[in-house]
Each structure stands twice: as structure tokens, then as C-alpha cells.
Structure 1
Amino acid sequence: MAIEDIQPQIERYLPELIALRRDIHAHPELGMEETRTAALVAERLRSWGLETTEGIGRFGVVGTLKGRRPGQGAIGLRADMDALALTEQTGLAYGSTIPGRMHACGHDGHTAMLLGAARMLAENPDFAGTVHFIFQPAEEGRGGAQAMLEDGLFERFPCDAVYGMHNMPGVPLGHFALRKGPLMAGSGRWVATFRGTGGHG
């Protein structure tokens, strides 16, 4: 598909993808609780003709699409689905309907973007090899990636490379911030303990 043909196609999908993202935003689920979100993702993938596997690492979903050109390579495209334990105060019409739960890190957008990619490629599988669309639960510290790996993610869905993305409001529309190799692959935590005489500062 020529690059100039992509934008009109994306525009055709936009109302559906915006509605999907707002629906996910309104119904946030914490990590390892993504029952509704995972079911929604799986239903959409199946409706577009993708081979769909649910329950990987409990709540993970993988949609598989083979291109119509010959080729044995495989890539993974990955998005996270979980929300945070925060109370939404945005006043949006599609704001969180669950007290103390909010999509404050953009995973509703990540899920909608990956669904959009799956929809577009399912309609135009003019590529060689296989794409695995990986929807991961519990990115926010509850071990979703580890659970999927322990459940044989890459043995069941081998990938030569995996690509993920994170929204970043400061990057201009239509641009990507990239680097070679791993980037933002995990977060670290540390604890500082201060010992001494109490004071007033």
C-alpha cells in the first residue's frame, strides 16, 4: 500500500477508533483485572478475521495475522491495557465511570492504536510473514509481561523483533521519537533511608 493511501484509510477508521478509546477510558481496569478490556480487544480482533488467543498470562490477548506475500519472518506489535489507581477529575464526557480508577498513562490510547493497526493490516495484508498483535495486561507494576512470558508467549508466538510505543504529548503530531535498541523497557524502584537526628527544615 502506498503511503499516500494510508491517511484516507486511517480517517475512515477514526470514528470507530475514537469510540473504542473513549469506551476503554470510561471503563478502566487495574492490572490483572482487565476482564472487560481483554474481552473487547479479543472480540474486535476476531471480527476483523484475526486468529485470536486469549488468557495468556491470565488476561493477555494475541491476534495473529499472516500476510499474503510469501515469507517466514514474524514481528510483534505490543500495547498495554491497564489503568492506574487514581481518581479522574477531568470532567470529560467519557471520563472514568469507576471511582479510584483512571487511564492516566494513556494505555487506553495504546490499545486503541494497536487495534487500529490490526484493523488496517487485516484489510490490507500486503506484506510478507506474520504479525502478532500483543495486548499486555498489568504494565503498571503488577507483572503482566512476566506472566505472559511464563505462559510461553514467545514460544507460542515467535517474533524476530517486537515493537511497542508510548504516547508522548510533547512530540509533534506525525512524529516519532526513536532510538536503536531497548528503550523504556522497564522501570526501576529504589528506597532511600535517612538516619540521623530529627530537626526542622
Structure 2
Amino acid sequence: MTISQQLNELQLISGNKLSNIFNNLYNDILTINYDSESKLVNELWNRYNPSSPSLNGSVFEGILAAIFYRSNIIPLFIQAKISFVLNVDFDFVLYSKEYGPIALSAKTSLRERYKQADLEGMMLKQVHRKAKSFLLTLNKQEANGVNKKIANGEVLGIDDVVVVNDKKFDTLISYLKKLTFYKPEKIDIITSTRYIHKTYTMSK
């Protein structure tokens, strides 16, 4: 079985183009020894020659998904929708006993795209008050800039911007490992103690 077949079976990646890249570059992604998660990200990303923005993002997400899996940070929901948080697809979601949903947004670079993660985080926190939202990136300078905005109260929907090839990512992984994750039960849109459904007819 090829590495892409293994990763597809585990649902860590999907798509033919991405499968070809992982077969060519990341045959050892599930077996390679590493000292820290941040060093592993750095090594794996350096093998890749960025081509198109959409494919870059998919490769980045695939690497992160494999690292979360190897760190036993599961169950992990990828490209996930959350009930009552409308029109948002989160890159990664973990559902914790301690905080409810923890959203992880992955962007190779930020520029103005942090604003999308900020908006999505605010929408999430309106529904799940204790929820956490982290933005994962490769650009340290941009991350520092957004973290300053978080500290100044200009960005409210993101708890922290984490550079994944920096030690801060190792700290995040250690933090997540301490939490209890599970698959939440399906939520009924409406629940009630009484349910009136018969059509009214006047008594004769």
C-alpha cells in the first residue's frame, strides 16, 4: 500500500494531485523519527516546492493532519462544519470536554487572511462561549503582527497565532495532548417537552 493510500484510508488527505505529492515527497511521514513537532514540520515543508496557493494549502494541511494523528490528537475533524455556525468550513476542529470545539485554521501565509479566521472565530465563540480558536502559519513576522493585534484587542476571534516550525507549536501540541477529545453526539435542531402537531378542527 502506498503512503497516499494509507493517508487516504485514514482520511488525512484526499485528491489525486495531493496523493501524488505525498507519494513522491512524504513516503516516510508516518514512520520518520523526530525530536519535536516543529522540527518535523520544518523538515517536511522544506521538501516541498510551493506551486499554486490552493495546492500549497492542501499540502500544509496534510502535513499538519499527519502530525496531529501521530501525536494521538484525535478524533480530528477536517473541513468541518459546526451546528449553528453558519457558512463556515473550519480547517480542523477538535471537540474537547474542557472547552467544547477547538478550531485550528491553517494558512501558509497570512497577509489579510487572518481576518477570515478572526471572523470565523467570533462566530464560533458566539455559539460556544468557551471555544478556542488558533491560527497556524509558517510566517513568523506576520504571526507576530497579528498577535500584537490580539493583545491590543483589535482581533477578538483568535486566541493565538502559532508558527508551526517554531517551538510555540510544540507547546500547543503539549497543551492539546492534555485535553480530552471526543466525537459529540448529534444535536437535534429543536427539542421540547411538548410537541403540538395535530391540525385544529372545531368541535361540533
TM-score (norm 1): 0.32
Structure showing the higher strand proportion among its residues: 1
Say which structure is richer in helix.
Answer: 2
Larger Rg: 2
* Structure number with higher relative contact order (C-alpha < 8 Å, ≥ 6 residues apart): 1
